[in-house]
Structure 1
């Protein structure tokens, strides 16, 4: 159910005035546009991933409409299993099997990137339409998830993250927004993936774009990708 715009004037650009807060604070004051909200917690953390992930570059405009491939058939080998089998085949000097496993691993990796990119598209579709129901479905459930909106501190925990998106969607912007993603890169390793991109966001009737650099982290839960971190920062050229 998309959130309809109130009868308030359209803003010139997507640049909510949100005061910076400390990530270690027990609470924060969150502001979007001319409205102020209190009580958002900023306490939990998301486990850091120390592995450097391979990058898959995607040209601007390709982030819309990519098919989801997260519903793999049962019994399909996962990436880590294939990696272990590939390493074993190489050690055994079974190069024919190693070549076959390498090709299968590439297919699995590409499927993972497509699925993460599809999850990323669901996030921006919900954001563009102010669709809170869809936004709730995008995010993983738990205390480990968090969001950093432009010019704001970290907001942690599923309930607080959802409250922050409710405030964004209730800030008087006219939906749907115009959102264009540029410089999109997709990175996947096992059950963790992330997307980096430049967000260009504009409200109806505006001639200027708000620009944010964003990192979106996803985790795979029971075969489906969910967001666990969204971090967006203003980008000034």
Structure 2
């Protein structure tokens, strides 16, 4: 795990920002990378109906066009080899039948599959933060799964649901006037994978050019496996004040 975390922290990455209008205060707290909360007001969703959003203009890509993907709600994640659940079932059967040689082989195969899954999710996490760091909307479009089930929660902002609305929120961030690339660091990185779902938790630290202080956010990034590729379906970041 330590090696995986170290590899992630040295990969291109990005962290979220501190809002200029914190939800609990009328004045901005210390930190950097400020984005006015009002910029996201039109994208916020009601807690009683998270997918009911007033649609704004369609998000566009700054350079090039993102590759189209079928909706992940209509696509069954598939892989080229056995999945984790089937291996677990085979392992349980082998143990029940006292076939310990088979059980040992299955246990090794399961361990390799889990390690491969963690590495793949960490790579997807690094791609997401690389897009963030560089303000690259083309890569950001490709990093996310498609469908109404995806959502993002930016610091001091509400939940934004649906692929197009999520992309529009990132467009607002990239058009906010920051000088890219941003200076970022990821700490306390942990990854968990089970079947076709994986998640990464970490402490995001970000500093814009010319700033002497770091913004800190706790983040949870959820990924789903679609046609053998790990894509982000949830990004939730909240301020961390020590």
Specify the TM-score bucket, using the shorter chain as the normaliser.
0.7 to 0.9
SS in 2 for 1:174: coil
User: 1:76-127: CA deviations, max 9, x gaps?
Assistant: 2221111111011011110110011001100000000000000000110000
Kept in 2: contact 1:32–1:167 (CA 8 A): no
1:208 to 208, 213, 232: 213
Structure 1's consecutive aligned runs of 4 or more residues displaced over 6 angstroms after TM superposition are none
Q: In the alignment, is residue 122 of structure 1 matched against residue 127 of structure 2?
A: yes
Q: In the alignment, is residue 17 of structure 1 matched against residue 20 of structure 2?
A: yes
User: Structure 1-normalised TM-score?
Assistant: 0.75
> Greater helix share, 1 or 2?
2
SS in 1 for 2:234: strand
Q: State the alpha-carbon separation in 2 of the partners of residues 41 and 159 from structure 1.
A: 13
Task: Flag the 1:232–1:75 CA change in 2: closer, same or farther, 3 A.
Answer: closer
1:83-162 equivalences in 2 (<5 Å): 83-162=88-167
Q: State the alpha-carbon separation in 1 of the partners of residues 37 and 179 from structure 2.
A: 14
SS in 1 for 2:179: coil
Kept in 2: contact 1:83–1:105 (CA 8 A): yes
**C-alpha displacement at 1:179, in angstroms?**
1.0
Match of 1:174 in 2: 179
Kept in 1: contact 2:37–2:156 (CA 8 A): no
1:40 to 43, 67, 87: 43
1:186-205 equivalences in 2 (<5 Å): 186-205=191-210
**C-alpha displacement at 1:19, in angstroms?**
5.6
Match of 1:228 in 2: 233
**C-alpha displacement at 1:147, in angstroms?**
0.3
Query: What's the Cα RMSD here?
Result: 2.2
Kept in 2: contact 1:182–1:198 (CA 8 A): yes
Count matched residues. Answer: 189
User: Structure 2-normalised TM-score?
Assistant: 0.73
> Greater strand share, 1 or 2?
1
**C-alpha displacement at 1:14, in angstroms?**
3.9
- Unaligned 5+ segments in structure 2 are 1-15, 25-33, 52-78
**C-alpha displacement at 1:205, in angstroms?**
1.5
